[in-house]
Amino acid sequence: MALDNYNFDGFILSLYVDDQGDWLAHFQEIPTVSAFGDTPQEALEELKIAWELIKEEYQAQKREIPIPQKKPVQAG
């Protein structure tokens, strides 16, 4: 599964299967943005649609679209 087909604006994704066998995809930074599907690809496609709708809603309300926080870089 290639994530190159998806633009989630730099957010970190969680993708897992639940107890009923459904796949759940959500942003780690915004857990309320989530989507389900029968396959990982379907969950990601649904999340892509949900994220676009959420961004449109933010724009309609003239609110700033959330951006992911930069992760601290640890020196090795």
Tell me, what's the pLDDT at 7? 82
Model confidence at 16: pLDDT above 90: yes
Model confidence at 1: pLDDT above 60: no
> What are 37's two structure tokens?
């599907």
pTM as predicted: 0.81
Tell me, what's the pLDDT at 41? 93
pLDDT in tens, 38-64: 999 999 999 999 999 999 999 999 999
Q: Provide DSSP, the chain.
A: --GGG---TTPPEEEEE-TTS-EEEEESS-TTSEEEESSHHHHHHHHHHHHHHHHHHHHHTT-PPP-PPPPPPPP-
- Span 2-13, average pLDDT: 79
